[in-house]
Amino acid sequence: MTKSMKIGFSPCPNDTFIFGALACGMVDWPGGLDVTLADVEELNGQAEAGTLDVVKVSVAAAARILDDYILLRAGGAMGYGVGPILVTRDVRSLDELDGSTVAIPGKRTTANLLFGMLCREKGITVERREMVFDEVMPAVRNNEVDAGVVIHEGRFTYEEQGMRKLLDLGAWWEERKGLPIPLGAIAIRRSLGPGIAWAMNEAIRISLVHARSNPDGIVPFIREHAQEMDEDVICEHIETFVTGYSLDVGKEGEEAVAELIGEACHMEGLEPPTGEVFIQRPL
């Protein structure tokens, strides 16, 4: 296990909190790491292109890459009360969305999949406008679109920017499925083999444990990549999106991911995966 690994995750505080100790060398990876930080939709594209060995992906996007990648059990974003939110300035109800323009944070994202499921259930037809996630709220605020699907820190700040919630898409999922909403997962190339995959799973888990035990050590790394994000929002972001499922998805988490990947396959006309979706602990 001396191979240098190309690893990609987002600059959002939950990811930099989880991966910070590993990326900064506080947790060792023999052979070293070539780290890429990018928006999750860009990472989804890199995973589909196969340019990274280990990559954070939207769970919705995982449906397209499971022939070449397997999901790790640690490092993901999943939970109750953590889902994307549909926000607006002037639209008063979901029915009024029909025929409108809605900003989405990337076509491969779990947020867009949930919104598509909602539109299908409600019989709503909209024009979806793809944007980087931090462009969605300004577009809504400036009346460039009628509504937007916000993720990450947007769920904490939309009201102070003059918007209101039309629907919490995560809560909508939870009510229908009785499961946590799986937002993101960590994928690793199947060709690397189960030994390296499990070693990376454990390195990520240890990195998260290290961050929880020694938060001051990774604060500079988190702040560097959070850019202008308010300190309180950074803390709330981490507390919200880093959950027990980030240490290990568990049986419920596996069920939630399988359910969401099934929805993605149905929406996109893909064949459901036939092999193992998650790496399993070696016997």
- Mind telling me the catalytic residues? 152
Q: Report the chain's C-alpha Rg in angstroms.
A: 18
| SS3 state at 223 | helix
What 200-204 contacts at long range (C-beta under 8 Å, 24+ apart), as own/partner pairs, is 200/5, 200/29, 200/54, 200/72, 201/72, 201/73, 201/74, 201/75, 201/279, 202/74, 203/22, 203/27, 203/29, 204/18, 204/19, 204/22, 204/72, 204/74, 204/75
What is the C-alpha separation between 89 and 201, in angstroms, rounded? Answer: 42
| SS3 state at 42 | helix
Token representation of residue 257: 């991911």
What is the C-alpha separation between 213 and 244, in angstroms, rounded? Answer: 15
Bridge partner residues of 9 (DSSP): 37
